[in-house]
Amino acid sequence: MISNDRFIIRGDIMAALGDVYRLAGLRTDDAAWRLLRTDHAPVILGLLGRHFTHGARPLPAPELFALLDADLEELRDNGWDLPQTGRGYCAAWVRDGFLLRRSSSTAREEFLEPTEGTLAALDFAGALQAPIRAVTESRLTTLASQLSALARDSDPSAQSRLARLQVERAALDRQIAAVESGDFPVLGGERALERGREILALASEVPSDFARVQSAFDELNRSLRARILDDESDRGDTLGDVFRGVDLIADSEAGRSFSAFYDTILDPARAAQIDDAITAVLDRPFAAEFTGEQHRRLRGLLTDMEVAAGEVHAVMTSLSRSLRHFVQSRAYEEHRRIQQLIRSTQQQARTVATVRRPFDVLDLELVRVGMAIESVSALRLHDPADDRVTDEVVVHPAGHADLESLRQLIRESEIDFDELTGNIAATLTQRGQASIADVLVEHPATQGLASIVGLLVLAGRHGHRVDGTERIGWTSQAGLTRSVVIHRHQFDPTAPELQP
């Protein structure tokens, strides 16, 4: 008995030792852990969390550089020692694995986005700032619902499945009878608000999930290419599958899981169902307790997931197409040959290392020759006469600038968004809610059709489409009255840009 106890204790010690070594490796290799250990972790998390909120969509590199430069200037004014520019810090964060650099097939500029580790660190910091203080009913309901669905969907017995469905049907019949009699509970108040916040908490984890999927696709792509290069036969397992048209990335575990999500989110019926549910929830009285940020996140939940899923799907498709071209163009043969030469050189270097040291003087003279080879036809001679001014210089006297005239010229060529934003804010202050037609009733279109276009643009930015249509009118430059029927849009009274 003592001997068995010793074996158990020894096994526990070895297991603990293994955990310690694994965690020590994570402390060095995991980007999230390394980020949290840096001296500037608050700066990195604060700035990246500000510019990659929730959806974590990639930003063009020049745009992110400009945003960070403005933030860094403000931090320096408050005593922070941050000597580099936004570009410099982004380059360092890419090297450290905190940012991921991607190219775009439709634009020349690069895009930057947080890595999986950075999103994990942001989630960790967010949980520290707003911890869940208690076990909520909504979380327990979600767990119970998922467990029930798993037990039902994995049950191989038709008899028990039928019994479960009959129980569910009986429960539905009781609910239908209660609704028909008017005796049914309505969830509201703090419990409804709690469930809404739980939904937003679950939605905030989606960007990290997408980042993990992209990381899995990248790792799988590298692994498949390495297997193709290491397989010396012309029709190895991996190489043969690609030649036969098998999409190994889409058929992987991560690919199948993401494809199921992508098909679900793009299903028109399911998308309409989710959109209707979001609209219904936001129309409930308890939704007034949501903050402006929570309201906007819930309103854009479906759109954010569709956009993010589309970006991940584009990455998966691009990697699959690139791998297929890598094989079908037989480019892998050149890479395989280069790999063989490198390994042969390394083997010879190990052999030479036994008899020669790296700093030994060799009886060999190397002549390095370098030259620039250019075509004569590419040369262009400079003609000084091209810079000579032959036209008579006309001197125009300085005139007097009229500020009102300049403002009128600008209004004739540009939409006055400041005026339109002020009109919307004034209408919201007066009425509480406003559509485009409501704004035009209080403030007619001073720029004609341009004002209508500007209101539609602002409705897309700071509002949402609702059921129904409305007729709006304006006066053209020729003095004719025009009108058109448009889809009804409701402006968001909580939008910061529409505050008086």
Q: How crowded is residue 89: how many other Cβ atoms within 10 Å of its Cβ?
A: 22
Q: Residue 68 is part of a domain; what is its CATH number? A: 1.10.10
- Token pair 């604060």: residue: 46
Cut 0.85: pTM above it: no
Asked if 209 and 297 sit in the same domain, the reply is yes
Task: Please compute Rg for the chain using Cα positions.
Answer: 32
Query: 247 and 343: one domain?
Result: yes
Is the domain of 424 the same as that of 316?
no
Determine the structural domain holding residue 306 and report its residue range: 203-353
Q: For residue 23, tell me if it sits in a domain.
A: no
How many Å apart are CA 122 and CA 35, to the nearest integer? 10
**Amino acid 2: pLDDT:** 47
CA distances from 84 to 68, 88, 429, 475 (A): 10, 6, 44, 54
Find where tokens 């403000």 sit: 74
Tens digit of each residue's pLDDT, the chain (500 residues): 445 555 455 556 666 777 787 888 878 888 888 989 888 889 999 999 888 875 557 888 889 999 999 999 989 888 888 889 999 999 999 999 889 888 766 667 788 888 888 888 888 887 777 665 545 566 667 777 777 777 777 878 888 888 888 888 888 888 888 888 888 777 777 878 888 888 887 877 777 788 788 888 888 888 888 888 887 765 557 777 777 777 888 888 888 888 888 888 888 888 888 888 888 888 888 888 888 888 888 888 888 888 888 888 888 888 888 888 888 888 888 888 998 899 999 999 888 888 888 788 877 777 777 777 777 777 778 888 777 777 777 887 776 666 666 666 666 678 888 888 999 999 888 888 889 999 999 999 888 888 888 898 888 888 888 888 899 988 877 778 888 888 888 898 888 888 87
Burial class (CB in 10 A: 0-12, 13-18, 19+), 93: buried
Residue 142 falls within a domain, yes or no? Answer: no
Q: Of 64, 197, 49, 207, whose CA–CA distance to 137 is shortest?
A: 197
d(CA 245, CA 242): 5
Domain final position from 64, 95, 129: 129
Is residue 218 domain-shared with residue 317, that is, in the same domain? yes
Q: Are 349 and 208 in the same domain?
A: yes
Report the 3 state secondary structure along 268-318.
HHHHHHHHHHHHHHHHCHHHHHCCHHHHHHHHCHHHHHHHHHHHHHHHHHH
210 and 102 part of one domain: no
445 occurs within a structural domain: yes
Tell whether 96 is covered by a domain.
yes
Burial 437-465 (b: 16+ CB within 10 A, else e): bbbbeebebebbebbbebbbebbeebbbe
Written as one letter, the residue type at 474 is W
CA distance 271 to 171: 27
Q: Is 149 among the domain residues?
A: no
Interstrand relation of 99-103 and 463-475 (parallel, antiparallel or unpaired): unpaired
In this prediction, residue 341 carries a pLDDT of: 92
Considering 129, 145, 171, which residue would you say is the last residue of a domain?
Answer: 129
Phi (first) and psi of residue 473, to 5 degrees: -140, 160
Q: Which of 441, 436, 446 is nearest to 411 (CA)?
A: 446
Structure tokens at 469: 């249509």
Residue 277 falls within a domain, yes or no?
yes
Do 346 and 254 belong together in one domain?
A: yes
Which of 335, 353, 371 represents a domain boundary (last residue)?
A: 353
Greatest distance between any 2 Cα atoms in the chain: 112
Same-domain check for residues 336 and 431: no
For position 89, what pLDDT does the model report? Answer: 92
Domain-located, residue 26: no
Q: Are residues 35 and 125 in the same domain?
A: yes
Look at residues 444, 437, 449 and name the one whose alpha carbon lies nearest to residue 482: 449
Q: Is 88 exposed, middle or buried (0-12, 13-18, 19+ CB in 10 A)?
A: middle
pLDDT of residue 234: 58
Q: What pLDDT, on a 0 to 100 scale, did the predictor assign at position 5? A: 55
Among 297, 300, 293, smallest CA distance to 275 is for 300
From residue 442, give the alpha-carbon distance in Å to each of 144, 439, 499: 52, 5, 17
- Look up residue 435 and give its DSSP letter: B
Do 248 and 322 form a contact (C-beta atoms < 8 A)?
no
Could you give the 3-state DSSP secondary structure of residue 60? strand
Give the number of domains in the chain: 3
In a domain, 86, yes or no: yes
Query: What is the identity of the amino acid at 322?
Result: S
Q: What is each CA distance from 334 to 229, 239, 288, 340, in whole angstroms?
A: 10, 15, 63, 10
Residues 6 or more apart from 5 whose CB is under 8 A from it?
A: none
Classify the C-alpha dihedral 34-37-38-41 as positive or negative. Answer: positive
Question: What gap in Å lies between CA 254 and CA 259, rounded to an integer?
Answer: 8
Which pLDDT does position 49 carry in this prediction?
86
Helix axes 206-230, 301-328, angle to 10 degrees: 0
State residue 90's pLDDT score. Answer: 92
